[in-house]
Chains A and B, each alone.
Chain A
Amino acid sequence: MQLKVTNSPFTEEQAELFNRLLPTLSPAQIQWLGGYLAFYSAGASSAAGSETSVAIEAVSAVQEAPAAAVIEAPKDATILFGSQTGNSQRLAGKLAEKLKGQGVQVTLSSMNQFKTNNLKKAGHVFVLVSTHGEGDPPDNALTFYEFLHGKRAPRLEETKFSVLSLGDTSYEFFCKTGQDFDKRLEELGAQRIVDRADCDVDFDETASAWIASVAGALSSSAGATAAPASAAASAASVSLDGESEYSRVNPFKAEVLENLNLNGRGSDRETRHLELSLEGSGLTYEPGDCVGIYPQNDPALVERIIEELKWNPEEPVAAGKSGETVSLRNALEHRYEITVLTKPLLEKAVAYSGNEKLAELVKPDNKEQLKAYINGRDLLDLLRDYAPWTIAPKDIADLLRKLPPRLYSIASSYSAHPEEVHLTIRKVQYEAHDRERNGVCSVQASERLEPGDKLSIFIQQNPNFKPPVNPETPVIMIGPGTGVAPFRAFLEEREELGVTGKSWLFYGDRHFVTDFLYQTDWQRMLKDGVLTNLDVAFSRDTKEKVYVQHRMLEKAKELYQWLEEGAHVYVCGDEKHMAHDVHAALLTVIQQQGGKDSEAAAAYLAELQEQGRYQRDVY
């Protein structure tokens, strides 16, 4: 129904605003708006006034606020996250929940959706951000990162802040993005109320402690009702779990239903298609989500490490910080990371090595040598290269990182395969430093996993990689190699839901005959019209190497037309080369076909990204 002056109590201007807004709302938004208006009319507060994209959080915070807290001016907290795989986003959600429970008025937003002119008004800013590749911010932090580091950044003398950064110590630029934000906010005059916490791949404990500290800092600075709990005690109470019984910290033991190689005979690659049962777990997922797998280290490698140190494999050792005790062999197979060396590991190892050269290597002057050494080497190399050792089995808890779960984009639609989840895992195996190196999870999947076996898994939601809500919106999916996995999920879901919008997949690999992953699935989808266009590039079949970006450029005209029709673009797969090349190809297409200069094309693409129309899941 169109609102008019004649059929509503609104002015013409109001009616027009409503008419413009209402058709764009999702059912969830309408439902929420009903509650909001009821609340609004009760005249409880005018707090929600200026909020935009984050009004939900603001209002629900006020709703939940204890009456006692309302008497004082409610505290505000702006929680900004930059997340690629969803970890930062999930942690930001936890912080928001925690603070709301304390009566804080919370604004929760991804960085690129945050209206930067609200930054100055924020009393507290909490940044949760991960770091990628060569110290790069995640996609949805890029524009905000640039804004904050640019000339237009406001002075923030009135602002208090803290940063949680996520990263991986095996990378050179560990947690760089978080560190940059931390430094920059200070430069802009903001006041740090809790020290930055840098999380390694095993982030749960550090992140919980940081959330508790922030919560404590806010409640103590408020001088409000509850006494601030100690950070440690509070940390234990912060659950990072989702709604399901099973989660990252309590993984589900999923039975392997199928494990087959998708690469045909004669291929130089091996890609496993795993089908896992979710039966009885209550776990569900959406297209774009990931599965985390807790893998098993190669028992042969564990054996060699134990032999190297002449240890007793049955000796009981700590399984982690929980106090649980398991055999040394079990610990090295299932609990600790043994295939990657990090700078902190080497620094700690000095204490256990009788070899002076190790102490020399970790000196700040030898940064480059250290970097070169840890590249491609593992614990066994370290043990062999820097003997003799004084280390005892009990010391591994101090020395080694927890074995982190491996994340894989889900390759199936839950609606198409109820109580199942499919994964696409490419075997990583190569020679380095005179030894064969095995990808932990991929080689397990390839060599030590059969139907009937079980894998510890959890579902990792990825809100930053989701098909468009509107079924008519065209989708362009670019996923060479295993990057095609989520698009099988997207398309299966569209098939199940009978989505009629156009879809276009760009796929590539080395050889057509052996490496066309899920070929017969795509052929069927093309035939049935679920997939509108499919363009493929096989790099090793022709003299000139051809990649997906070349196919994109060949189809530039049609591609741009789709963009202009509102298509969403999804890119999944290799970050280092593919994602960059595809990005460049998109810019070229926009430039050529849109008659834009490079700056305008970049702005066009940045806008797509801000609108959530250009989403990437790259690794």
Chain B
Amino acid sequence: MAKKHKVEPIGGPPSDVELLKVESNYLRGSLVGSLSNRITGGLPELDNRLLKFHGSYMQDDRDYRNEREKQKLEPSYQFMLRVVTPGGVSTPEQWLVMDELADKYGSGSLRITTRQAFQLHGVLKWNLKETIQDINHALLTTLAACGDVSRNVMCNPNPYQSEIHSEIYHWAQQLTTHLAPKTPAYHEIWLDGEKVVDSLEQEEAATKEVEPIYGPVYLPRKFKIGIAVPPSNDVDVYSQDLGYIAIVEKGKLVGFNVSVGGGMGMTHGDNQTYPQLARVIGFCTPDQILDIAEKTVTIQRDYGNRSVRKYARFKYTIDRHGLDWFVDELHDRLGWELEPAREFKFDHTGDRYGWIKGKDGKWNVNLYIQSGRIADTDTLKLKTALREIAKIHTGDFRMTANQNLVIANITGQKKAKINALLKEYGISEGSNLSALRRSALSCVALPTCGLAMAEAERYLPTLIDKLEPILEDAGLREEEINIRMTGCPNGCARPALGEIAFIGKSPGKYNMYMGAGFSGDRLSKLYRENIGEEEIIDTLKPIINRFATERGQGEHFGDFVVRTGYVKPVLSGTDFHS
């Protein structure tokens, strides 16, 4: 098959990180030495970059950075550890290990990320190794939870179609395993794995490709994969570099539509960066998805921008060369072609809370977890409650893309007990909360995230407190509106897909976006720049009131603000700034 589109990979001198990766000898760098340096709790910048591939990066408590500097103390360096949990699934045993590690080495809380992974904060450098060992003993890993590789593969936790879930989850696991880095560095550094010393093996190693998919320089940037099961688009499949949309016919999974080139991150003030929606390019059968993922990754490996990191995501590679080029290149590498895409329909991105009985007769309960933060507070012992449940639970736990938690596969026998525990600890299924709060998503931001320019997790609940009376007065308490907030434009809480979204600019100031599609198929648009709480309320109040009175039948907030002209619709990221 002749190539229709001949393109050259974008040139330019490689960025510092690219050089670092080359010199790191498959992610080793000088990590071992830096980790054992007792004089600083931190790592040099280059090792910190490498550490990301191992699932961790250095942070510090930014609230006290200046105070500590005065005290002649270095910043209180601590490490975030992210655990790869494909589809957000873990066993009760694994849950208990994570729960214990949060207290033993972390800051006492666990976080469900927007990509269905566990996150521990506040781990000290000297405790990293033991923490990672304990995680691995629980048959989990932190390898490739961050870094320029394929990240935790997302999939719908789907308690409704229980028979589909196991298949989908299987593929999420397969994708994760297939795309995991193969370097023995992780094993060597954290798990006391022995280096390859035998000369014969060394010879063999020299001829054998250490990273058959990634090669020695890995990807130009992170790479995200998600699997959606319509009608739910909870994984925000259009925000993924590579998406699979399950096609279920007559109750059977027949295959997936493939979507490519989505992504959320951008840089304030640089219009060449933008969030983008993935586009559906065809259909494949389940057994083809690993091959597609591998080839797509290799195309990004070969054509992604390795000179400027902020232009390196896969979406820019596709937009630079065109979708047709990509499809041709993919077909070329596959040696076969995708079938035409099949019909499907998404109707929401949020979670469905409460108790649900699966087709297999097992029970599932979807709990609301504010900002995905699993902690004990004076008023709510959420972490303790989930620990008590994990002790008796025989099914699994599923973290959702909306940072909530499904306790899944509960036997009829255990249902009453688990329900009693939930009642005892006052854990909400979300039914008592406003629909706005249930539909909220925020990233960690301050104080630990080094990128944050403003608050997110710590502030969004307060903002919602102030919006709720307005919605209440307008009779919209039960109206689901996707509201999202991030501390910076990197987009961890997928703000470009929020019907109302805030991206931090500076402490207390946000850019406000509106108009994304309720089912995640349209981007939001900048509506107000650099505004504080008072202006946010003043801006939103009349729009909400008008929405209450003028909305069409079943019309969602995002659609309404587009129809009534508050913002223009954004169907491609290239129009995001225009």
Binding site for B on A (CB under 8 A): 260-265, 273, 512-514, 516-523, 526, 534-536, 541-542
Cβ < 8 Å to A, chain B residues 60-76? 64, 67-74, 76
Contact of B38 among A263, A521, A535 (CB under 8 A): A535
A513 touches which of B38, B41, B67, B69 (Cβ 8 Å): B41
**Closest 6 A/B residue pairs (Cβ):** A520-B72, A264-B73, A518-B72, A519-B73, A536-B38, A513-B76
Q: Give me 5 A-to-B residue pairs in the complex whose CB atoms sit less than 8 angstroms apart, sorted by A's number.
A: A261-B71, A263-B71, A264-B71, A516-B73, A520-B72
Distance of B34 from chain A, by nearest CB (Å)? 14
Q: Report chain A residues within 8 Å CB of B124.
A: 512-513, 541
Q: Are A523 and B40 in contact (CB under 8 A)?
A: yes
- Expressed in whole angstroms, the minimum distance between the Cβ of A50 and any Cβ of chain B is 52
Determine how close the nearest CB of chain A comes to the CB of B334; give it in whole angstroms: 52
Alpha-carbon distance A223/B72, docked complex (angstroms): 64
B126 at interface, CB cutoff 8 A: yes
Complex: chain A residue closest to B61, CB-CB = A265
- Which chain B residues border A541 with CB–CB below 8 Å? 124, 126
Select A542's contact among B68, B73, B126, beta carbons within 8 Å: B126
By the criterion CB–CB under 8 Å, are A262 and B71 in contact?
yes
List B contacts of A513 (CB < 8 A).
41, 76, 124
Let me know if B64 and A265 touch, CB within 8 A.
yes
A591 to B40, CA, bound (A): 32
Interface flags for B37-69 (1: CB within 8 Å of A; 0: not) read: 011110000000000000000000000100111
Q: How far is the CA of A516 from the CA of B38 in the complex (A)?
A: 11
Partner of B39, one of A261, A273, A514, A526: A526
* Given known contacts A265-B67, A512-B41, A513-B41, A519 and B74 CB-to-CB distance under 8 angstroms: yes
Sample of 4 further A-B pairs with CB below 8 A, known A518-B72, A519-B74, A534-B39: A512-B124, A514-B73, A517-B72, A526-B39
B64: which A residues are within 8 A, CB to CB? 264-265
Pair count A-B, CB < 8 A:
49
A522 neighbours in B (Cβ, 8 Å): 39
Complex contacts, A517 vs chain B, CB 8 Å:
72
A42 to chain B minimum Cβ distance, whole angstroms, is 58
Q: Which residue of B lies closest to A261 (CB)?
A: B71
A458 vs B265: C-alpha distance when bound (angstroms): 62
Complex contact A519–B72 (CB within 8 A) = yes
Contacts of B70 in A (CB 8 A): 260
Choice from B68, B72, B76 contacting A273 with Cβ under 8 Å? B72
Report if A521-B72 is in contact (Cβ < 8 Å); known contacts: A513-B124, A536-B39.
yes
Q: If the complex has contacts A512-B126, A541-B126, are A520 and B39 also in contact, measured as CB distance less than 8 A?
A: no
The residues in B between 517 and 551 inclusive whose CB is less than 8 angstroms from any CB of A are none
A334 CA / B41 CA spacing, docked (Å): 44
Whole-angstrom CA separation of A327 from B270 in the bound complex = 72
Q: Which residues of A contact B72 (CB under 8 A)?
A: 262, 273, 517-521
What's the minimum C-beta distance from A136 to chain B, rounded to whole angstroms? 34
With CB as the reference atom, state the residue of chain A lying closest to B127: A541
**A534 CA / B73 CA spacing, docked (Å):** 16
Distance, CA A368 to CA B74, complexed state (A): 49
Q: What residue in chain A is nearest B63 (Cβ atoms)? A: A265
Minimum CB–CB distance from B97 to chain A (whole Å) comes to: 18
Kindly report which residue of chain A lies nearest to residue B39, judged by CB atoms. Answer: A534
Supposing A264-B68, A535-B38 touch, asked if A520 and B126 sit within 8 A by C-beta, the answer is no
- Shortest Cβ gap from B72 to chain A (Å): 5
CB within 8 Å of A: which B20-43 residues: 38-41
Query: B130 to nearest A CB, angstroms?
Result: 10
Max chain B Cβ within 10 angstroms of own Cβ: one of A512, A518, A520, A534: A512
Separation in Å of the A618 CB from the closest CB of chain B? Answer: 24
Scan residues 66-99 of chain B and give those whose CB is less than 8 A from a CB of chain A: 67-74, 76
Q: Which residue of B lies closest to A266 (CB)?
A: B76
A542 to B72, CA, bound (A): 23
Say how far B59's CB is from chain A's closest CB, in angstroms: 13
Q: Known: A512-B124, A513-B124, A541-B126. Is A264-B38 also a contact (CB below 8 A)? A: no
Report chain B residues within 8 Å CB of A514. 73
In whole angstroms, what is the CA distance A261 to B40 when docked? 20
Distance between B318 CB and nearest chain A CB, rounded to angstroms: 45
A522 and B72 CA atoms in complex are apart in Å by 10
Residues of B within 8 A of A523 (CB): 39-40, 74
* Contact residues in A for B76 (Cβ distance below 8 Å): 264, 513
Please indicate the chain A residues that have their CB under 8 angstroms from the CB of B69 in the complex.
520
Contacts of A264 in B (CB 8 A): 64, 67-68, 71, 73, 76
**Closest B-chain residue to A513, C-beta based?**
B76
Distance between A204 CB and nearest chain B CB, rounded to angstroms: 37
What residues on B are CB-neighbors of A520 within 8 Å?
69, 72-74
Name A535's closest neighbour in chain B (CB-CB): B38
Bound-state Cα–Cα, A520 to B41, Å = 12
The docked-state distance in angstroms from the alpha carbon of A263 to that of B76 is 12
Cα(A518)–Cα(B72), bound, Å: 5
B100 to chain A, nearest CB (A): 15
**What is the chain A residue whose CB lies nearest that of B78?**
A513
Complex Cα distance A512/B42, Å?
A: 12
Taken together as a complex, chains A and B put the C-alpha atoms of A513 and B76 apart, in Å, by 6
Chain A nearest CB: distance from B466 CB in Å? 30
A273 nearest in chain B by CB position: B72
The proximity string for B residues 189-225 relative to A, scoring 1 for CB distances below 8 Å and 0 otherwise, is 0000000000000000000000000000000000000
Specify which chain A residues have a CB less than 8 angstroms from the CB of B67 in the assembled complex. 264-265
In the complex, chain B residues 126-152 whose Cβ is within 8 Å of any chain A Cβ: 126
- Bound CA span A526–B72, Å: 15
B75 to chain A, nearest CB (A): 10
Question: For B41, B73, B76, which residue has the most chain A Cβ atoms within 10 angstroms?
Answer: B73
Q: Report the separation of the CA atoms of residues A526 and B64 in the bound assembly, to the nearest whole angstrom.
A: 24
Alpha-carbon separation in the docked complex, A362 to B155 (Å): 82
Q: Which residues of B contact A518 (CB under 8 A)?
A: 72
A111 to B126, CA, bound (A): 47
Instruction: Write the nearest CB–CB distance from B353 to chain A, whole angstroms.
Output: 37
CA distance A330 to B126 in the complex (A): 52
Shortest Cβ distance from B515 into chain A, in angstroms?
Answer: 43
CB of A76 to closest CB in B, whole Å = 53
- Report the separation of the CA atoms of residues A513 and B64 in the bound assembly, to the nearest whole angstrom: 12
> In chain B, what residue has the closest Cβ to A263?
B71
Instruction: Considering the complex, give the chain B residue whose CB is closest to the CB of A515.
Output: B73
